[in-house]
Each structure stands twice: as structure tokens, then as C-alpha cells.
Amino acid sequence: MASVIDAHLHLLDRQIVDRDGRLIGKVDDLELELAPGADYPVVTALLCGPMALGPRLGGRLGVWLVSAARRLRPRGDTDPVRIGFGAVTEVGPSIKLSITVEQAPTLRLEQWCLEKVISRLPGGTREAG
């Protein structure tokens, strides 16, 4: 791990990998917090999924991405998926976490694809690759 971590260079747009090596998503944005009295903000969480990516993309495409993602959400909320920075165990070519993919709810589109398409195909629910 680099001794100084540059949030833009070492964190943003990197692949997030769970405890078991499964791919969770990208660091689409970061949550910063400026504690009262502190001189500089602190990274408190990795944000991922379309709700974080959309605003960063900006423009019409960003708006479209957010509104498309909202349809997959039960209450139509727009909070991005948040992974507390405490779960990060390694910052390298990918960002490794101490939790599993199931504990990071980034999988709404994955769930939708699984339910509507993949699990309906013969062999779609098998255990092996």
C-alpha cells in the first residue's frame, strides 16, 4: 500500500473486491466528512452504483442513469450504496474489503437480471462456472 493515498488517484474508479475475491463494483464516488473543528475532510465511505456514478458523469446521461436506477428501487430513493471506509483492508490495483458482496447491497441490477433472465434459463442456477 502506498504510504500516501491520493483519493483521486488511488481510490476513485478502482475495482472493489470482497473478502472472497468477488467483484463488488467500482469506487464511483467518495463520501467526505468535515468534522467540526477539523482542518481537512476525511474519507468516510466508498460510494458505488448508478446513484453515485450518475451525478459524476453529469449531463443528460447522468440524469438518465439515476432515473433508470431509481426504478429498480422499492421506495424510489436516490441514496448511493455506501461502504464504510473501515471495511477497506487493502488499497492496491483493486480495493479489498473485509466484508462479502452480500453485505454490500450493490446488486439491485444483478438481482433483477438473475430473477428475470438468468434463473429462467436452463442451467441458470447451477453452482459451477
In the complex, which residues of this chain contact other proteins (CB under 8 A)?
2, 12-16, 22-26, 28, 48, 53, 56-58, 61, 92-94, 101, 109-111, 113-114, 117-119, 121, 123-129
Q: Where are the beta strands (DSSP E) in 1-129?
A: 15-17, 23-26, 29-33, 42-48, 81-84, 88-91, 94-97
Nearer to other proteins, 24 or 88 (CB): 24
Q: How far is the CB of 103 from other proteins (least distance, A)?
A: 15
Q: How far is the CB of 98 from other proteins (least distance, A)?
A: 18
Nearer to other proteins, 34 or 72 (CB): 72
Long-range contacts of 99-106 (CB under 8 A, 24+ apart): 99/18, 99/19, 100/18, 100/19, 100/20, 100/22, 101/18, 101/20, 101/22, 101/23, 101/24, 104/16, 104/18, 104/24, 104/25, 104/48, 105/81, 106/24, 106/25, 106/48, 106/49, 106/81
Nearer to other proteins, 67 or 125 (CB): 125
Nearer to other proteins, 32 or 35 (CB): 32
Q: How far is the CB of 25 from other proteins (least distance, A)?
A: 4
Q: How far is the CB of 37 from other proteins (least distance, A)?
A: 33
